[in-house]
Chains A and B, each alone.
Chain A
């Protein structure tokens, strides 16, 4: 069953944030189609190491599609051609022998490139720090069952909460917007009753932080929704817009 393919890779190599980057071309032979995309890069990196060259730097950790560490733009598509799939879960059987694959880092003004495919996404952390939480201290909380939450609400909140913070939405957005990421968190916490007391403040401060980080605005291109490995819907952006409007019209 095992079959192998030969590939040409054009990978973005950049020494550090200040250096100018460029594409390097590599040839890989006998790549098993059962490999994941990252395993294919592992093979390349072993090959480079044996040749005395520096391997390609890239972020990754769980390799199960849940930590959100991995990600690159493959042939122009964030996380590659498979829908609702992170780069680590993309498999080489999606490619044909003889293919040339162009691999670039996630690019955005808010995501400085640190090296090769490795970028700094801490801007997303700062958006969460601005208000993506419920202000409860440890201890002294009420019993878990004291506030009922309908299954429907819990499911919608869970849909939004599945965001893995990978930044593919930003990478794929023609405007480099982080609306899907921010919207998902605002939506989760505005759906659940636990998030209600702070919802106005939250919408305003998270959006303000998002702008401060240099993310673009949204022109409703829907690109993010399709790049998102977790299938997060732009309905969450609509919800954020609503929360934001309310926070200005009705907030103190």
Chain B
């Protein structure tokens, strides 16, 4: 099958990484857009949540799709990570000409952190959800805990770092590299992660700092 021979190649794997990364990114974007409703107050956020759960089948399919994409991203990511371990530290003196960014160096680790975070997150809001508590209230409950909030904030910082390399890397993998757009791309590589950080990371801060008094 052509997909099999595709995925066997190095660039094929990279393209799986980039495609899954892009899909995860799009999911994040939608998620972020929805979550932004929190800043408008509990009422609006609850409306959004109820609306979503009005289509249980869709949510299920969506959830499974996401899981699959996720597994693909993590799976191939791990494969590449182990392959990389075979080749690194070859020299007695290691000098990097381009000081490779903290972000690119830590891709598997920031990725792993996100992975752990997501398990916690999904359990907290889906499976582990206490009976009868509204999601909008749950959010408030969770984020009143300092450590829980801190965990979230750190996780979103990790995500931002992950994307700080991931975003441009994804475009390069897709073959998008042109002097005319490279400036834009390098701006977006900083801007996109920041936007996510502000929206997602803002939520716990919103509750912690008490700005959510009227929530």
Bound CA–CA A107/B90 (angstroms): 7
- SS class of chain A's interface: helix, strand, loop or mixed? mixed
The reply on B209 being an interface residue by CB < 8 A is no
> Across the interface, which residues of B come within 8 angstroms of A220, CB to CB?
104, 165, 168-169, 172-173
Interface size of A by CB at 8 A reads: 46
Bound CA–CA A172/B90 (angstroms): 10
- Contact-size category for B: 35 or more
Once the chains bind, are B10 and A177 in contact (CB under 8 Å)? Answer: yes
The reply on A120 being an interface residue by CB < 8 A is no
Q: Quick one: CB contact mask for B73-97 with A, threshold 8 Å, 1 for yes?
A: 0000000100110111011111111
Bound CA–CA A69/B68 (angstroms): 47
Residues facing B in A151-176 (CB within 8 A) are 172-176
Once the chains bind, are A248 and B10 in contact (CB under 8 Å)? Answer: no
Bound CA–CA A128/B96 (angstroms): 28
Bound CA–CA A234/B98 (angstroms): 13
Once the chains bind, are A172 and B14 in contact (CB under 8 Å)? Answer: no
Once the chains bind, are A216 and B10 in contact (CB under 8 Å)? Answer: yes
The reply on A211 being an interface residue by CB < 8 A is yes
Nearest Cβ in chain B — how far from A56, in angstroms? 16
> Across the interface, which residues of B come within 8 angstroms of A172, CB to CB?
97
Once the chains bind, are A241 and B175 in contact (CB under 8 Å)? Answer: yes
Closest residue on chain B to residue A101 by CB atoms:
B93
Nearest Cβ in chain B — how far from A212, in angstroms? 10
Which residue from B80, B96, B174 sits with its C-beta under 8 Å from A219? B80
Bound CA–CA A238/B176 (angstroms): 6
The reply on B55 being an interface residue by CB < 8 A is no
> Across the interface, which residues of A come within 8 angstroms of B153, CB to CB?
none
Once the chains bind, are A109 and B104 in contact (CB under 8 Å)? Answer: no
Nearest Cβ in chain A — how far from B70, in angstroms? 20
Which residue from B14, B98, B174 sits with its C-beta under 8 Å from A218? B14
Closest residue on chain A to residue B169 by CB atoms:
A220
Bound CA–CA A12/B14 (angstroms): 34
Closest residue on chain A to residue B15 by CB atoms:
A245
Once the chains bind, are A234 and B172 in contact (CB under 8 Å)? Answer: yes
Residues facing B in A104-125 (CB within 8 A) are 104, 107-109
Which residue from B8, B83, B95 sits with its C-beta under 8 Å from A77? B95
Once the chains bind, are A216 and B87 in contact (CB under 8 Å)? Answer: yes
Bound CA–CA A226/B95 (angstroms): 12
> Across the interface, which residues of A come within 8 angstroms of B9, CB to CB?
207-208, 211, 244
Once the chains bind, are B172 and A238 in contact (CB under 8 Å)? Answer: yes
6 residue pairs, one from A and one from B, having the closest CB atoms: A76-B95, A242-B175, A238-B177, A76-B93, A217-B10, A226-B97
A to B CB contacts below 8 Å, 29 in the list = A10-B92, A73-B91, A104-B93, A109-B86, A176-B90, A211-B8, A211-B10, A215-B10, A216-B84, A216-B87, A217-B13, A217-B80, A218-B14, A219-B80, A219-B84, A219-B107, A220-B173, A221-B98, A221-B100, A222-B100, A223-B96, A234-B172, A234-B177, A235-B178, A238-B174, A239-B177, A242-B175, A245-B174, A248-B12
